[in-house]
Amino acid sequence: MSASPVRVRVEALSPAHASAARHWAERLGLAQEGEAEFALQLGDDGLQLVELGPGAPGPVRVDFVEGAAAHRRLFGGGSGQMIAKAVGIQSGVRPQVLDATAGLGRDAFVLASLGCTVTLVERQPLIAALLEDGLARAARDPEVAPIVARMRLICGNAVEILQTWTETPPQVVYLDPMFPHRDKSALVKKEMRLFRPLVGDDLDAPALLAAALALASHRVVVKRPRKAPCIDAARPSHQLDGKSSRYDVYAKKALKG
């Protein structure tokens, strides 16, 4: 569920980006002036979201070409990664995945880089804007473009989208609901601080799991902090445990090549 409304303004970081910033402001219904707690900024490196005020962490943006995404793509372990095993990637099997809680798209990008076709659903318009901008910039990079071509973004309420889905059902629905994370990495702490006022906790996670189980043709995968309870006490078919997180797998039908 969304947290209390916060004030966000749109800023161009240079005159060259003024027109595009105006377009984002109009599209998102945001002001370009006045007091605000957050700013959506547009510059040479793309769109970024930053908390304003003293002591605030740095900006957050989506970058599928460089940084952490590039390192994981090149050195992350390929199909041996736990998320790959959770969604059912195996020899000759690359499931069609619907990531219903896309966030900054990191998990979706990993799955797409391994050959899956991924539909991303993000309900928070500002986060969806960061994702859209990141996908557009990645599509201009020759090395990454074939990967993001397998990624499609939908902005909207995931429960409603899943309940009214009219296309071929995805083989796998992937969920990573917002949770009071205990991850101590600076990156996660920065993002949690930034996004928590905007999105709050996912209090409708039980409804989202129910919609996912009704839609997925083969399995639902839920990412959780390692010691967190299962959503709505629903018992998964099996679990994959990591150091800080785990994957609850709800199997409906075997994935075959």
Residue 88 token pair: 């059912």
Annotated ligand binding at 106? The verdict is yes
Q: 3-state SS of the chain: helix, strand, coil percent to 5? A: 35, 25, 40
Residue at token pair 């219903």:
100
- Alpha-carbon distance of 137 to 30, in angstroms, equals 23
- Alpha-carbon distance of 26 to 170, in angstroms, equals 33
| CATH 3.90.380.10 assigned to 67-251 | no
Q: Answer yes or no: are the C-beta atoms of 118 and 112 closer than 8 Å.
A: yes
Q: Answer yes or no: are the C-beta atoms of 9 and 34 closer than 8 Å.
A: yes
Annotated ligand binding at 232? The verdict is no
Three-state DSSP state, 58: coil
- Alpha-carbon distance of 248 to 233, in angstroms, equals 11
pLDDT at 12 > cutoff 80: yes
Residue 248 token pair: 């609850």
pLDDT digits (tens, 9 = 90+) for 86-131: 999 999 999 999 999 999 999 999 999 999 999 999 999 999 999 9
pLDDT at 42 > cutoff 70: yes
Instruction: Indicate the helix (H) or strand (E) that contains 138.
Output: helix 125-138
CATH of domain 8-51: 3.40.1630
Q: What is the pLDDT of residue 159?
A: 96
Are domains 8-51 and 67-251 of this chain identical in fold? no
What percent of the chain is predicted at pLDDT more than 90? Answer: 73
Angle at 95 between CA 90 and CA 100, to 5 degrees: 130
- Among residues 216, 176, 219, the alpha carbon closest in space to that of 85 is found at 219
Annotated ligand binding at 122? The verdict is yes
Round the average pLDDT of the chain to a whole number and report it. Answer: 90
Q: What is the pLDDT of residue 3?
A: 46
Please state the domain extents for the chain: 8-51, 67-251
Structure-model confidence comparison of residues 194 and 63, the more confident one: 63
pLDDT at 184 > cutoff 70: no
Annotated ligand binding at 226? The verdict is no
Burial environment of residue 232 by CB neighbours within 10 A (0 to 12, 13 to 18, 19 or more): exposed
pTM over 0.85: yes
Annotated ligand binding at 123? The verdict is yes
Q: What is the pLDDT of residue 2?
A: 42
Across 105-176, the runs of DSSP E, i.e. the strands, are: 117-122, 151-155, 172-175
pLDDT digits (tens, 9 = 90+) for 207-238: 999 999 999 999 999 999 998 889 986 799 99
